[in-house]
Amino acid sequence: MKREFFVFIEKDEDGFFVGEVPQIRACYAQGRTLDELMENITEVIEMCIEEEHDMSIHSAFVGVQKVLIDDKTAYA
């Protein structure tokens, strides 16, 4: 059986890609490239699944929303 997980990806100030799996508490990885990040996060997810009895799977991922804030308001 295959399970689907979502990965939030950001680029940090040092240029590394950082990924977080919102369905699994404390499931993070990083990589110099997106490919390296995805290899690393896949390995971390697999380790978490192996220890599933100790893992907290959060509720199902729903989505991401964009919020626009006026610059004048944000820096007032």
- Domain range list for the chain: 8-74
**Prediction pTM value:** 0.73
> What mean pLDDT do residues 2-29 have?
93
pLDDT for 34: 98
The tokens for 41 are 């996060």
d(CA 5, CA 21) in angstroms, rounded, equals: 7
Class of domain 8-74: alpha beta
**Are the beta carbons of 52 and 42 closer than 8 angstroms?**
no
The tokens for 3 are 């399970």
pLDDT for 41: 98
Under 8 Å CB-to-CB from 40, ≥6 apart: which residues? 19, 29, 30, 31
